[in-house]
A and B are shown apart, each in its own frame.
Chain A
Amino acid sequence: MHLSHSSILLKYFYKLSYFFLYMTESTTSQDIASLYRFMAQCMQYPDPEWMNEDFFNVFYNLLGTFGAITEGKEIRDAVEKSSDFIEDLQIEYTRLFINGVPHVVAPPFASVYMDKSIQGSFALRTLNFYREKGFTMEDNADLPDHLVHELEFLSLLAKEEDFAGEEEFLSKLFRPWYKQFCPRVAEETRHPYYRMVVTLIDSFTKEEEEDGFQLNEA
């Protein structure tokens, strides 16, 4: 894509402000790391081991911080009204992300969107990015381009304060597929929890298009 001078300037300006944001006392790179890590957790298969009262309390609290009061309440209602909310969420997770009727809605793998296949070349590029940054996949991990692992990786980068790496990963390997994935889930899910989680991740990784910053579409 051809960038005009002004957009290059804007981009430069944006980077500075972005850097500045990390440096403010209120939001540290460690906070960013925790947020990514928490979002990764939210996208794991629901299990009472972690998806318990404590988890939801922390989740509602976080939503409150962002002013998502109505959404939080909607989720709380769905959870509290259900006779087995874990099973509800497991069924929904399976339908959305594993195998579902009318069809699997949104497999959480980058290459499904970029290569129309699981384990396409996009998955390999993702894995190579991890490697370049000195990371590797654990033996029992899912595929490298699984949403959970990408968020875990972003968390690790944030922890290391590798902002440039984080931005590059977001723009080249994360956003291009996530922006296709997110609306599919948000529109088709039958549970407010997943609508909120994918929106949260979206917001947290979305560039400031309205500020004039244009995505690097490499």
Chain B
Amino acid sequence: MAFNLTRRKFLQTASLAAATIPLSKVVSAETGVAKASLEPKGTMGDTTVVGGLCEMCFWRCQLVGKVRDGQLMKLEGNPKSIDNGTAICARGNAGVKLLYDVDRLKYPLKNVGKRGEPKWKRISWKEALDECGSKLKAVVDQHGPQGICVFPHGASAKYPMHYFERTVGTHNVSEASFFQCRGIRDAAYVATIGKAPGEMVDMSNTKVIFLVGSHLGENIHVSHIKSYMKGLQGGAKLVVADPRYSASAAKSDIWVQIKPGTDTAYLLAIMNYLVQNNKYNKEFVTKHTSGFDKFSTAISEWTLDKAAKECDIPAAQIKEVAELLAANAPNVAIHPGRHVSWYGNDFQRERSLACLTALLGAYYVKGGWVPPKNPAKLGKTSWAPQEHGDEFNLNVINDKKVYPFKPPGTPTELIRDCAISGKPYAIKGCVVWGQNPMQTIPKQEKMKQVFNAMDFVMCVDVMPTDVTMWADILLPESSYLERHDEIKTGVGKVKATDKEPTQFIAPRMPLVAAMFERKDQVYITNEIAKRMGHEKEIPVQTLEELVDKTLASANITLASVKAEGGIHLQPGFSPYGVPEDFMVQLFNEDVAAAGFPGAPTYKAVEDVPAGYARLLYGRAPVHTFNRSQNNVWLNHEMPGNPVWLNDEVAAKLGLKDGDTVGFINSEGVKSRTTTTVKVTPGIRKDAVYMYHGYGSANPLMTAGVGKGVDDQSLITKIAIDPETGCHGMRNNFVKLTKDGKALDIPA
């Protein structure tokens, strides 16, 4: 540009004075900076704000914030916490960076370009809400409430999810936490012990910690890890089944380097061994289980040798594990896991874990599976439940359930197929709230087809995740550090020597005010509800009111909890002792009646085709799925996700540690990006492994974009767990590519 004045020349311009006269006429009257009416304030010192509840992951550690002049300087564990205490993890710490992430969404945006290739324009909240309200209403008017599908995730998504499910009346809601994560576990335990298991294993008091695939240590949840470490320090033995030398495997007494997909066979053989050798807890089985005979007959084929062959592990090792469990029963912690949507045979594996716990009598005993007793009862304020019938329930065909043991909501694939085909009815509106279906749901191409089939797509999020590129309207939400919300309850001990546990109730309180124009879920949902004609049904006016109403049944208020330091404590009860009516269905007649195996059953998964390796993925200690990929601190800690490759395989392929590779899967899908190789003896030859949640495709994520490889982009073969309709995501096979050439993985 020719124009190149300096300040001095600028000011020397002869006719400047004349030119400045009209300037004042075209500027608006208000300014953001103004003369202070009071005496100017100096710098204020740090204050400690209580009531924070972390949500860098779902564990919800209790926090305090060090705040200076409204600016959050640092996060720490709340000293009053009897859960995480003053400790928080690396991700928790890095919440500050999420809060102040440059790329965070700030204002409502309208896409004036194409879906998937957005051109954003900032618009006012009024315009954004008018657009969302009218477009969604138009979908309902034309296609009925079932014409809307919802993909929610996280604490803030519950209120809008209830609105669309209960008030608007669509069944088409798919939560990633259920259909791509823990829903199978919950459904399987409900079908076995009548309740979801959480991660309520008493590891700190146990003698054996038994993990299948869980990689505690890489997967960090503060109080859970504390209890795991306490258990290990107390001498607990650790048994880990994992094809990979995970952080847990590295600490284990027995590492079962199992062939992927065969875990159920391993569990059946352990159970059969216990039964055949009379090493199970007969008293517990008699008093608290049903269907033992049918169960033991069904599993009797699973000898140690048969399982050894199937699982590619020594029979002696299975025996060793079974003996160790038997010798220490009932004080053994059979961990139910969390992310369990692996192979499409997962309901049966989770049933096996629940049944194994029963054979060992490890329910409600020290070191076993122990839920808190008489936990604090909180209210359930939300949109009023309404009956909407099953006419438009995709999971019900001719009065028969497609997936009878599905977790709450509608299985993702039923929604996607209906949206794409328009059969049996049209789905034309999509609400994505805090979920990133592009990176949580397998087969990205199919997700794109869903979005392209919509009349209207809206997204609400804190970050511009991959899915937000598909929105017509994108709304910025206040983050967990800027709003009231979610109430964490639990038990712990005030002093280590306490005999009885103490219960705690910790509602989320904002540590700082929301910046820019970010709004919370109650505001956004209510405003949309008003525009869709549901003003009268609005249950609360503000998020604060919602939390206060929920706390009322425990006779506390936000104000009273704040005065208590952000956490309310009350006496708890010893959790040990099996309730009289507690029953475990070793053989479940309902499951059998629905046409599935009533006793835990192993179904083999597809073998790895020649030349390929199975793609396994898991958690990185400093990341929470893809949600934290743009966090500059966390990105700095682990900027990429090197692929674990067996050392012998690497040698045959001529790959060295640190070499750059890409991927191509068995369906011909290539990775968008590349990563480096981590050569290690700590993984089986038929599998490769990488951390999940990398390689964002969204350039709006300036730190995360293109870093590492997005494992989800390679997960294109969909397995469905037949009982629950949840996804299995570890049946995908890949070759590595080097300089554009695909390398055959040697057998």
Chain B residues near A117 (CB-CB < 8 A): 97, 100-102, 632
Contact with A along B93-112 (1 / 0, CB 8 A): 00001011111111101001
Q: When the two chains form their complex, are residues B23 and A138 in contact, meaning their CB atoms are under 8 A apart?
A: no
B25-39 with Cβ < 8 A to chain A: 25-28, 30-37
**In the docked arrangement, what's the CA distance between A41 and B220, Å?**
48
Complex CA–CA separation, A32 to B40 (angstroms): 25
Q: Which of A140-171 contact B (CB under 8 A)?
A: 140-144, 146, 148-149, 152-153, 155-156
A68 x B3 contact (CB < 8 A): yes
B121's partner among A31, A90, A153 (CB-CB below 8 A) is A90
Pair B30/A138 contact, Cβ less than 8 Å: yes
Contact between B16 and A27 (Cβ–Cβ < 8 Å)?
yes
| Chain A residues near B101 (CB-CB < 8 A) | 117-118
A207 & B26 in contact (Cβ 8 Å cutoff): no
In the complex, which residues of chain B have a beta carbon less than 8 angstroms from the beta carbon of A45?
122
Query: Which residue of B5, B6, B33, B112 is within 8 Å of A130 (Cβ)?
Result: B33
B118 CB to nearest chain A CB (Å):
6
Taking CB atoms, residues of chain B closer than 8 Å to A71 are 1-3
Known interface pairs A95-B120, A124-B68, A138-B32; A61-B700 also in contact (CB < 8 Å): no
Question: Contact partner of A41 among B18, B26, B36, B107, CB < 8 A?
Answer: B26
* Residue in contact with B35 in the complex, picked from A34, A38, A98, A156, CB distance below 8 Å: A156
Give the interface segment out of B7-15, B518-526, B567-575, B659-667.
B7-15
Question: Do residues B35 and A50 form an inter-chain contact, with CB atoms below 8 A?
Answer: no
B119 touches A101 (CB 8 A): yes
Chain B residues with CB under 8 A of A58: 22-23, 25-26
- Neighbouring B residues of A95 by C-beta, 8 Å: 119-120
A27-B11, A68-B3, A71-B3 known; A149+B32 contact, CB < 8 A: yes
Given contacts A65-B19, A87-B112, contact A124 B71 (CB under 8 A): yes
A153 to B539, CA, bound (A): 44
* A-chain residues with CB within 8 Å of residue B103 when the two chains form the complex: 99, 103-104
Contact B20 A35 (CB under 8 A): yes
The reply to whether the CB of A8 lies closer than 8 angstroms to some CB of chain B is: no
- Given A66-B5, A203-B10, A204-B10, the answer on whether A99 and B120 have CB atoms closer than 8 Å is yes
Which chain A residues lie closer than 8 Å to B122 at the CB level?
45, 90, 93-94, 98
Q: Is the CB of A70 within 8 A of B19?
A: no
Q: Is there an interface contact between B699 and A101, defined as CB atoms closer than 8 Å?
A: yes
Residue of B nearest to A72 (CB): B3
Tell whether A118 pairs with B100 under 8 Å between CB atoms, given A66-B5, A199-B1.
yes
Q: Verify if B69 is at the interface (C-beta below 8 Å from A).
A: yes
Contact B13 A65 (CB under 8 A): yes
Taking A131-B41, A208-B6, A210-B6 as contacts, is the C-beta distance between A99 and B105 under 8 angstroms? yes
In the bound assembly, the distance between CA atoms of A41 and B464 in angstroms comes to 28
Whether B11 and A21, one on each chain, are in contact in the complex, defined by CB atoms closer than 8 angstroms, is: yes
Bound Cα distance A37, B30 (Å): 11
The main secondary structure of chain B at its interface with chain A is loop
Knowing A37-B23, A130-B33, A203-B5, the reply to whether A98 touches B107 (Cβ < 8 A) is: yes
- B17, CB-defined interface residue at 8 Å: yes
Contacting residues of chain A (52-85) with chain B, CB-CB under 8 angstroms: 54-55, 58, 61-62, 64-68, 70-71
Q: How far is the CA of A153 from the CA of B36 in the complex (A)?
A: 12
Q: Which residues of A contact B699 (CB under 8 A)?
A: 101-103
Please give the distance in Å from A154's CB to the nearest CB on chain B.
9
Shortest distance between the CB of A42 and any CB in chain B (Å): 9
A131 CA to B21 CA in the complex, in Å?
Answer: 29
Nearest to B106 among chain A residues (CB) is: A98
> Which residues of chain B are within 8 angstroms of A138 by Cβ–Cβ distance?
30-34
Q: Are A34 and B24 in contact (CB-based, < 8 A)?
A: yes
Contacts of A186 in B (CB 8 A): 1
Q: Of all chain B residues, which has the CB nearest A95?
A: B120
**B25 and A94 form a contact (CB under 8 A):** no
Are A131 and B40 in contact, with the CB atoms below 8 A? yes
CB distance from A210 to the nearest CB of B (A): 7
The yes or no answer to B491 lying at the interface (CB within 8 A) is no
The yes or no answer to A49 lying at the interface (CB within 8 A) is: yes
Q: Is A2 an interface residue (CB 8 A)?
A: no
By secondary structure, the A interface counts as helix
A-contact bits for B390-413, CB 8 A (1 contact / 0 none): 000000000000000000000000
Asked whether any CB of chain A lies closer than 8 Å to the CB of B42, the reply is: yes
A61 to B25, CA, bound (A): 13
Q: Is A214 an interface residue (CB 8 A)?
A: no
> Which of B3, B8, B109, B700 has its CB near the most chain A CB atoms (within 10 A)?
B3
How far is A133 from B36 in the complex, measured between Cα atoms in Å?
9
A140 and B30 CA atoms in complex are apart in Å by 10
> Is there an interface contact between B8 and A94, defined as CB atoms closer than 8 Å?
no
Residue B384, interface by CB 8 Å: no
Question: With A27-B16, A38-B23 in contact, do A132 and B28 touch (Cβ < 8 Å)?
Answer: no
Q: Is the CB of B16 within 8 A of A99?
A: no
Give the docked Cα–Cα distance between A30 and B23 (Å): 11
B432 interface residue per 8 A CB criterion: no
Q: Does B219 contact A (CB under 8 A)?
A: no
Select one of B23, B41, B700 contacting A104, CB under 8 A. Answer: B700
Quick check: is B4 within 8 A (CB to CB) of the other chain?
A: yes
- A66 to B220 Cα, complex, angstroms: 61
* Chain A positions within 8 Å of B109 at CB level: 94, 98-99
**Residue in B6, B23, B112 with the greatest tally of chain A CB atoms within 10 Å:** B23
Contact B10–A66 (Cβ < 8 Å): yes
**What is the CA–CA distance of A119 and B71 in the complex, to the nearest angstrom?**
7
By the criterion CB–CB under 8 Å, are B34 and A38 in contact? no
Shortest CB–CB separation between residue A105 and chain B, in angstroms? 10
Which residues from A are CB-within-8-Å of B34? Answer: 135-138
Question: In this assembly, does A206 line the interface, its C-beta being within 8 Å of a C-beta of chain B?
Answer: yes
**Contact A94 to B120, CB < 8 A, known contacts A32-B11, A137-B33:** yes
Residue pairs across A and B with Cβ atoms less than 8 A apart, 24 shown, are A21-B8, A26-B16, A27-B12, A28-B17, A34-B23, A34-B24, A37-B24, A40-B27, A44-B28, A54-B26, A62-B23, A65-B19, A90-B122, A95-B120, A98-B106, A98-B120, A109-B102, A118-B100, A136-B35, A136-B36, A137-B33, A142-B32, A156-B33, A203-B7
Residues of B within 8 A of A (CB): 1-28, 30-37, 40-43, 68-69, 71-72, 97, 99-107, 109, 112, 117-122, 464, 515-516, 632, 699-702, 705
Closest 9 CB pairs of A and B: A141-B32, A136-B36, A65-B19, A102-B699, A38-B23, A31-B20, A203-B5, A152-B31, A41-B27
Chain A residues near B (Cβ < 8 Å): 17-18, 21, 26-28, 30-32, 34-35, 37-38, 40-41, 44-45, 49-50, 54-55, 58, 61-62, 64-68, 70-71, 87, 90-91, 93-95, 98-104, 107, 109, 112, 116-120, 123-124, 127-128, 130-138, 140-144, 146, 148-149, 152-153, 155-156, 186, 195-196, 199, 203-208, 210-211
Taking A62-B23, A99-B700 as known contacts, 20 extra A-B pairs with beta carbons closer than 8 A to each other, sorted by chain A number, are A27-B12, A30-B20, A41-B28, A45-B122, A62-B20, A65-B16, A65-B18, A66-B13, A67-B3, A91-B120, A94-B122, A99-B109, A104-B103, A117-B100, A124-B71, A135-B36, A136-B37, A142-B32, A203-B6, A208-B7
